[in-house]
Amino acid sequence: MTTNDTKRGKALLLGLGALLVFAANLRGPVALLAWVAPVPLLRFLRLRGGWRSQGLVLLTLVVGWCGASWKIVTDPLPAAFALLGLGFALFGWLPYLVWGQVRRRSEWLAPLAYGATVVVAEFLQPRLTPLSTWGAVVFTQVDDLPLLQLASLAGAGAVSFLVAWTGASLEAAFAPEAPRSSRRMLAAPLLAVVLAHAWGTARLAMPLPRETVTVAAVGTTLEFGPSTPLPGAAERRQALDVLLADSREAVRGGAALVVWNEASLLVPAEEEAEVVRRTAEAARELGVQLVAAYIVPRSTAPLLYENVLLWLASDGTVVTRYLKHRPAPGEPAVVGTGPLPVQDTPLGRMGAALCYDEDHPALGLEQGRARVDLVALPSSDWRGIDPIHTQMAGVRAVEHGMSILRSTRMGLSAGIDPLGRMRAWQSSFESGERVMRVALPRHRLPTVYAVVGDVLVWACGLFLVALAAGALRARVSEGRPSSPAN
């Protein structure tokens, strides 16, 4: 093979790596491709080690992730939103960096180290950046319900680990340069995949608690945003009238809980007391738990608002006035503080949050440890993340064995049961209906993850620390300085 052929082959590996990242992630993920996505870039690093090669891999990930982020850029987002891919690429590069270091000493441990670093990187991303868990490997598998049941044992990271470990093992198993014994390392992840699917299938067949409660998502008629004028007073009053009328319709259909979608109303501060009064009267009149959600502007230059969730009990009393804890990137919202709302109700133990809050595993774990049965989740999306964002909420339901009613503006509303199954759904883009009713289990399904929390993350972190300590001891004993990554 000539030098030009070799260069062309390595360039093809980089191009294929970028294409697989693009196709396997975010909008319209091709689930099967996620299992092989690491192979071309790991192969490239095997053929051409060193820091320059790692830099090329990082650049390739930037291209692939910015392309994947571009898929979710639809109105009203600016094209620059695709640059969020830079953050995804940086965290996605860490497993390749660690793999390159570990493989120099152990072909057997390198795939495990790759998977462990994926878990740790996905744990750090929502804690260090506003990107939350977007881009996590687990969300490439949202349609594989048996596999997603692993999240009930060790969190979403368990699914990400299995997919990443398998991909790295595939590269090693078919690399001509790898020792012949490395072919056998593929057996362990493949066996784990089979067992995970068998166990998940059995879990999906288990009976859920028989008692159910009928709940309803109610959509708004009000449209406002960066490209639309703000509604006037008459339009705001009419929107509230329609929401209350639709809430009554939902209750006539048997709903005991009504959840409006996020940003259902624009409520100037001087009008909020009247909105709360009318909504409380409706909750008391109808005898239901009512979760309203609206925007209260605080300033226009710079733009700042409160993203409010108002939870009213069936007697009309205010359970909580909650502000969104985790605004989405670029959202100019006042950041709420304090614990997530949890309340014992006649419907069971209820929790509530706003949209992007539920993308943060720490907040979900807070609900799981509070033994929440049902979460009211007013949300607001855009076409580019419909339906993937609602499917992501299903992973949180599996982790903690809780039902979620996601009432979504400009997206997919859904009632999700504790096994992550959508019992009902309704797209605001495809239907003129504003009310969606669904029966969900009244009680939670206990999960291991809700008890043990992020044990897998800490185990992966300790494993990586042990590998680093072992490598350091070996270098000291050999009496030579550290060499570039291979």
Does some domain include residue 355? Answer: yes
Same structural domain for residues 245 and 192?
A: no
Q: Above pLDDT 90, what percent of the chain?
A: 82
**The pLDDT of residue 481:** 54
Is the same domain home to 333 and 402?
yes
Same domain flag for 44 and 163: yes
- Do 406 and 474 sit in the same domain of this protein? no
What distance in Å separates the CA atoms of residue 335 and residue 326, rounded to the nearest whole number?
7
Same domain? 151 vs 20: yes
Query: Are 132 and 87 part of one and the same domain?
Result: yes
Mean pLDDT value across residues 10-27: 96
Residues 390 and 410 occupy one common structural domain:
yes
Residue 269 lies in a domain: yes
String of DSSP letters for 171-190 = HHHT-TTS-GGGGGGGHHHH
Cβ-contact 108, 185 below 8 angstroms: yes
291 in a domain, yes or no?
Answer: yes
The mean predicted confidence, pLDDT, of the chain is 93
Are 197 and 275 in the same domain?
no
Give the confidence band of 394 by pLDDT, cuts at 50, 70, 90: very high
Decide if 159 is inside a domain. Answer: yes
What pLDDT does residue 486 have? 47
Question: What is the count of structural domains for the chain?
Answer: 2
In a domain, 483, yes or no: no
Region 414-425 average pLDDT? 97
Evaluated on CA atoms 422, 424, 430, 436, the torsion sign reads negative
Write down the pLDDT at residue 175.
84
Give the SS3 label for residue 72: coil
Asked whether residue 96 falls in the same domain as residue 239, the answer is no
**CA 38/CA 20 separation, integer angstroms:** 8
- Per-residue model confidence (pLDDT) at position 36: 97
Question: 379-389, pLDDT tens digit by residue?
Answer: 999 999 999 99
Q: Which domain holds residue 440?
A: 212-450
Which of 96, 85, 3 minimizes the C-alpha distance to 51? 96
Contacts of 87 (CB under 8 A, 6+ apart): 125, 129, 131
| Domain co-membership, 107 together with 58 | yes
pLDDT band at 176 (very low <50, low <70, confident <90, very high): confident
Q: Which residue has the higher pLDDT, 49 or 420?
A: 420
Query: What is the Cα–Cα distance from 250 to 405, expressed in whole angstroms?
Result: 14
